[in-house]
Amino acid sequence: MDIIAQLRDIVGAAHVLTGPDTAPYCDDWTGKYQSDPLAVVRPADTAGVSAVLKLANDTGTPIVPASGRTGLNGGAYADGAAVMLSLERLNTIREIRPAARVAIVGAGVILSQLHEAVEQHDLVFPLTFGAKGSAMIGGALSTNAGGSNVLRYGSTRHLCLGLEVVLADGRMMDLMSELHKDNSGYDLKDLMIGAEGTLGIITAAVLKLAPKPRAYATAMVAAPDLPGALSLLNRLQIATGGAVEAFEFMPRRYIEANLARFPDGREPFEAPHEVNVMVEVGALAPRDATPGEIGSVPIVDYLEEVLAEAMEDGAVLDAVVARNEAQRRAMWQRREQAAEVNMDGRPLIQNDVALPLDHVAPFLDRAAAMLAEADPGANSMYVAHLGDGNVHYTVYPAATDPAAHDAITERVEDLVLSLGGSFSAEHGIGLSKKPSMARRKNPVALEVMRAIKAALDPKGILNPGKVLPD
């Protein structure tokens, strides 16, 4: 019996796709990586994943896990010898426990569906980003996704208490702890988060929830420069008791590109500014969220007051505070459209870098000079999660030679590392950043990673060719 027939015996013929039927799973969001898998297999539960991996291990068949396929670095690419393991049917929200503020979910649960489910309990799962309508929990965990609310809540790793993982040989490892403290040996949960399916397949998770803010205060703010914007963030954190949830930087060039891409959009201010920041504060206390006699919300009024004081000091050049949900959503939409705006230019070189907060401005200044020297006809586009130092720096090179593109990437990395940063912030490694891993990751750290990979996946069947340099 060939492997396709055996897979059909495990999950049912309707859930083993071959040939043209695999087409919906082969497109990469960036258009760079087009998969051609041997088959796409869609198990319904953890037992099915376990059986598929046991068969794959016995036959030496490569397995490529796939969730919402919204990644940007080729992490779900599958060639003709590999079976793509789709986790889309593991889409059950098993339990929501409001008192403990946890949700127990399958890896195939779509992020926006979890948002809607926990909102009914006046809770939030605070991970959010533009692809939330198709990205799945398993993929977010596998890449340790970040998003716009890391400033207050942390990345995906910080939002996970426990995992259920199927190992390469089909054994299920139960790490579904609901504990906030557990010092019983190595932290295998954190080992699996961010491993991009190279060490095991995440099938379920225990996720931390947070109380839903009773009100939001959201504004677009123009600052004189990036150091001034960072000072404003610190000022707002003190004024709100650490309640700033998002602090998103959009330069003037991004605003113009956004308006060109989405002509129904609006300018953030009456006059253009170079440094535009979207800030959002979440209020939990009733005193901050209960509308007053004239209907205004205290936290919104307070944010307006703090920004007005900052304008008097010259720390803010202009500000527009959202007075209703429609205005708030418009501000968020402008930021969440960044991926579509950045992908409009081709060819492009994507850089997802992390820097110390006070080194973001020097990075952008030096990157402009570096790019002008390396490729005088090149342009750049960038936005930043300024509150956590994550810059999405996209280069549109004039040079067409791939070697020239690689040279630009290396020079960006040189600059980032000279400022104490990292070449990867929240998009993972996949295929795209393997050369960066080879160049930049500590050699001893790479040796340890390879040893862990060899111990957990000795036949090398789990997402082969990803993350670790050849």
Domains of the chain, first to last: 3-86 (3.30.43.10), 93-211 (3.30.465.10), 215-338 (3.30.70.2190), 345-427 (3.30.70.2740)
Whose tokens are 């008097």? That residue is: 312
User: Which pLDDT score is estimated for 345?
Assistant: 77
User: Which pLDDT score is estimated for 343?
Assistant: 85
28-37, 132-141, 349-358, 369-378: the lowest-pLDDT one = 28-37
Q: Which residues contact 60 (CB under 8 A, 6 or more apart)?
A: 459, 461
CA dihedral 141, 142, 144, 149 (to 10 degrees): -40
User: Which pLDDT score is estimated for 69?
Assistant: 87
**What is the pTM assigned to this prediction?**
0.93
Identify whether the C-beta of residue 392 lies closer than 8 Å to the C-beta of residue 257.
Answer: no
31-35, 315-319, 419-423: the lowest-pLDDT one = 31-35
User: Which pLDDT score is estimated for 344?
Assistant: 81
122-126, 342-346, 455-459: the lowest-pLDDT one = 342-346
User: Which pLDDT score is estimated for 73?
Assistant: 87
> Residues of the chain with pLDDT > 70: what percent?
100
Q: Which residues contact 293 (CB under 8 A, 6 or more apart)?
A: none
User: Which pLDDT score is estimated for 70?
Assistant: 85
Rounded CA-CA distance 248/254 in Å is 12
Give the phi and the psi of residue 403 in degrees, each rounded to 5: -65, -35
Band of residue 32 on the pLDDT scale cut at 50, 70, 90: confident
Band of residue 323 on the pLDDT scale cut at 50, 70, 90: very high
Q: What is the mean pLDDT of residues 415-433?
A: 95
Q: What is the mean pLDDT of residues 69-88?
A: 92
CA dihedral 23, 26, 28, 31 (to 10 degrees): -60
CA proximity to 363, closest of 406, 422, 405, 426: 422
CA atoms within 13 A on the CB side of 369: 6
Whose tokens are 């590999």? That residue is: 82
User: Which pLDDT score is estimated for 180?
Assistant: 96
Kindly list the distances between the CA atom of residue 189 and the CA atoms of 159, 186, 193, 285, in Å, as whole numbers in the listed order.
12, 9, 6, 33
Kindly list the distances between the CA atom of residue 70 and the CA atoms of 76, 135, 148, 169, 427, in Å, as whole numbers in the listed order.
9, 6, 16, 27, 10
